[in-house]
Amino acid sequence: MMHVSRGARFAWLALLFAPVLLSPRPALADEGDVHEPARMDNRARAQQLFDRALADAEAGNLASACPKFLASQEADPKTSTLLNLASCYEKNGQTASAWGAFREAEGLARKVGRSDWETAARTHAEALEPKLVRLTIQVPEASRVQGLTVVRDGARLAAGEWGVAIPVDPGEHVVSATATGRASWETKSEIRDASGSVVVPVLEPLPVPDAVPVVVAPPGDLPPRSDTWWTTWRTAGVVGMGVGVLGVVAGGVLGLVAQSKYDGARGRCADAPRGCPAGAVADADSAYRLATGATVVFVVSAVTIAGGAAMVLFGPADSRSASNKQIAKPAGASASLTVGPGSLGVAGLW
The closest alpha carbon to 237, from 315, 323, 302, 298, belongs to 315
Handedness of CA 74, 80, 86, 91 (dihedral sign): negative
In a domain, 109, yes or no: yes
23 and 101 in a single domain? The answer is: yes
Of the two residues 320 and 69, the one the predictor is more confident about is 69
In a domain, 262, yes or no: no
Looking only at the bridges linking them, the beta strands covering 196-199 and 133-138 are parallel
108 and 153 in a single domain? The answer is: no
In a domain, 274, yes or no: no
Task: Give residue 36's pLDDT band: very low, low, confident or very high (50, 70, 90).
Answer: low
Classify 113 in phi/psi space as left (phi over 0), alpha (psi -120 to 50) or beta.
left
137 and 119 in a single domain? The answer is: no
74, 105, 130 — which closes off a domain?
Answer: 130
Query: What residues form DSSP beta bridges with 149?
Result: 178
The closest alpha carbon to 304, from 242, 244, 238, belongs to 244
20 and 36 in a single domain? The answer is: yes
| Structural domains counted in the chain | 3
37 and 71 in a single domain? The answer is: yes
Residue 15 structural domain: 6-130
The closest alpha carbon to 60, from 2, 15, 17, 6, belongs to 17
161 and 124 in a single domain? The answer is: no
The closest alpha carbon to 6, from 27, 36, 33, belongs to 27
At residue 5, the pLDDT reads 53
Classify 120 in phi/psi space as left (phi over 0), alpha (psi -120 to 50) or beta.
alpha
In a domain, 172, yes or no: yes
In a domain, 287, yes or no: no
242: number of Cβ within 10 Å: 13
29 and 111 in a single domain? The answer is: yes
pLDDT at 159 over 90: yes
Of the two residues 175 and 281, the one the predictor is more confident about is 175
In a domain, 268, yes or no: no
90, 106, 130 — which closes off a domain?
Answer: 130
CB-based contact 140:47 (threshold 8 Å) = no
* Helix or strand holding residue 108 (H, E): helix 95-111
93 and 144 in a single domain? The answer is: no
126 and 138 in a single domain? The answer is: no
How many Cα atoms within 13 Å fall on the side-chain side of residue 23? 21
**Exposure string over 98-108, b if 16+ CB within 10 A, otherwise e:** bbbbbbbbbeb
93 and 183 in a single domain? The answer is: no
Q: CA separation (Å) from 240 to 235, 247, 305, 345?
A: 9, 11, 6, 18
245 and 343 in a single domain? The answer is: yes
pLDDT tens digits, one per residue of 1-10: 334 455 545 4
pLDDT tens digits, one per residue of 42-57: 899 999 999 999 999 9
CA distance 6 to 46: 9
12 and 122 in a single domain? The answer is: yes
Give the CATH number of the domain where residue 195 resides.
Answer: 2.60.40
CA distance 243 to 294: 16
In a domain, 207, yes or no: no
CA distance 27 to 24: 9
Backbone angles phi, psi at 174, to 5 degrees: -105, 125
In a domain, 58, yes or no: yes
Helix (H, G, I), strand (E, B) or coil at 314: helix
105, 130, 155 — which closes off a domain?
Answer: 130
pLDDT tens digits, one per residue of 252-303: 887 888 788 778 777 777 766 666 777 767 877 887 787 888 788 878 888 8
pLDDT at 220 over 90: no
Residues with Cβ < 8 Å from 117, sequence gap 6 or more?
23, 27, 79, 80, 83, 105, 109
pLDDT tens digits, one per residue of 81-116: 999 999 999 999 999 999 999 999 999 999 999 999
